[in-house]
Amino acid sequence: MGQTNRAEKVLPQFPEPYWRDSVNLPAFPKLNKDIKVDVAIVGGGISGITAAYLLAKEGIKVALIEADRILNGTTGHTTAKVTAQHGLIYDEFIEHLGEEKARMYYEAANDALQFIRNTIREHHIECDWTEEDAYVYTNSNQYISKIINEFKAYEKLGINGAFLENIALPIQIKAAVVMKNQAQFHPLKYLKKLVEQITENSGEIYEHTTAIDIERGTKPKIVTRDGYKITCAHVIACSHFPFYDAGFYFSRMYAERSYIIAAKTEKNYPGGMYISAEDPVRSLRYTNVNGEKLILIAGENHKTGQGVPMIQHYEALQAFGEEVFGIKEIPYRWSTQDFTTLDKVPYIGQMNVDTPNMLIATGYRKWGMTNGTAAALLLTDLVLKKENRYRELYTPSRFYADPSVKKFISINTDVAKHLIAGKLEFALRKPEDLAPNEGAVVSVNGKRAGAYKDEQGKLYIVDTTCTHMGCELEWNSGDRTWDCPCHGSRFSIQGDIVEGPAKKPLNKLEL
């Protein structure tokens, strides 16, 4: 109980990312008519905005639509490490995909880093860019050999790195591997400039405009929730989870949530970017705010809608930060959601083999700054019919028997388990039993429902059956959302969609 009280005093009551709070972004209108463009882009994150920027520079007529505000999704909730070090991945890629594809994955991520660096220089963007070494470390004996094998993979692939037994953080480690000359930045300060360039090059941006369908053809049409249509030569779907699922992506990816606290600390941060190899994941970086270092402490990964009450993940990060650095203040906390593909390589390219003019980018795992930028570069080349050597690596139609078969079975067995378990759950609580600021599964007229009571005592009651494929939602106490343990859809207390793949809001219930 004491731990919870301490968290209530220190953790912000509501989640809000530092990136969003520290930048004033322009607002854009809602689409209110049918339009025709060369390329229609769905999704206002780093992939969609970078692709729109590149295409508009080439004189292509572009329209970008976003269901919410631009940069309010995963890009606005990232840790914003700009790195090709994506955990312990390269030894695994060499084993499962081969040395050539492992090297290409590194080179694509490195190309993305160089593109961001060059774009910052070209436009003189003040975005808190600093070049840092990136470290994966372990305190587990079981992971020492994995760290050693990862360093050997670096040597095979020509990656500038080293094996270490000590790091600058004030913690004991057993082994680490470092990738030199990586970077970090303020993603929204960077992307705000790209947004300005899009509009200066006659690109159109529409917010609060939700895509729900595509009418296929040589000139496909995106259909919005309000019934308006965007006719185009190419569709690019960068909406985190594909809003139009032409490839059964819901069965080929799984959603994970992770958490971030931004802390002012008593001990000085030594610089660098760090992530632990083992669970529970601990990820660290800093950003300069008014001459003071704000440390971003992240981790606590788990499948969406599953696990312990979500606020406990923030509390665990707080406890870690207190132990390592001593916490003076936590001005921000937030969480994010990421999709992982069967083989951990993003799906970027044609939605399926029959849709050459319908392109997709999804499944960045937790490394959206480089993977998202690599996606934009590849998608731009596909639209412009330019050769791109990474096309085959990322093609969404690929399927590697090892490890894809095992992961496919694992994902969908887990979905089936939660689908059945949710249907069998019997709720004992009543909506009126809730305390202010509490949400829970309740019983309404003898049926399972979800209720949240705000500080004024107002009740928000929704049907907890996910509108995607009928799984039962779970309450997320950390973010005050209803989350699907099957495919990662998330809904607000009012039942509105926060994350896909669901396309329809929840039904509201009355007592």
Domain around 480: 424-499
Asked if residue 172 is part of any domain, the answer here is no
Total domains in the chain come to 1
Q: How high is the mean pLDDT in each 10-residue block of the chain (511 residues)?
A: 45 91 96 98 97 98 95 89 97 95 98 98 98 97 97 98 96 96 98 98 97 93 96 93 72 85 95 96 95 94 70 93 95 90 93 90 94 98 97 87 56 52 61 85 83 89 86 84 83 86 85 72
Q: Supply the pLDDT for residue 240.
A: 75
Distance of alpha carbon 316 from alpha carbon 36, whole angstroms: 50
Strand order through the sheet with 347-350: 204-206, 62-65, 39-42, 234-237, 358-362, 347-350
236 domain residue, yes or no: no
- Structural domain includes residue 433: yes
Query: What is residue 410's predicted lDDT score, i.e. its pLDDT?
Result: 58
Tokens of 162: 């080293």
450, 475 in Cβ contact below 8 A? yes
Query: In this structure, is residue 209 part of a structural domain?
Result: no
Whether 20 maps to a domain, the answer reads no
**pLDDT value for 337:** 85
Task: Specify the pLDDT at position 416.
Answer: 52
Instruction: Please report, for the domain that includes residue 476, its CATH number.
Output: 2.102.10.10
Under 8 Å between Cβ of 79 and 368: no
493 is a domain residue: yes
**Which amino acid belongs to residue 374?**
A
Instruction: Read off the tokens for 359.
Output: 């392109």
* Predicted pLDDT at 411: 53
Q: How far is CA 478 from CA 169, 256, 328, 336, 438, in A?
A: 28, 15, 21, 11, 11
The answer to whether position 158 is within a domain reads: no
- Name residues whose C-beta falls within 8 Å of residue 306's C-beta, 6 or more positions apart in sequence: 418, 474, 485
Judge whether 81 and 369 are in contact, CB under 8 Å. yes
C-alpha 278/C-alpha 255 separation (Å) is 19
Q: What is the pLDDT of residue 445?
A: 78
Q: DSSP letter at 446?
A: T
Q: CA dist 161 to 134, 260, 316, 372, Å?
A: 9, 27, 31, 24
Q: Using the 8-state DSSP alphabet, how is residue 151 labeled?
A: H
Assess if residue 261 is contained within a domain.
Answer: no
Question: Do 178 and 161 form a contact (C-beta atoms < 8 A)?
Answer: yes
Hey, is 472 helix, strand or coil?
Answer: strand
Q: What is the 3-state secondary structure (H, E, C) of 235-289?
A: EEECCCCCCCCCCCHHHCEEEEEEEEEEEEECCCCCCCEEEECCCCCEEEEEEEE
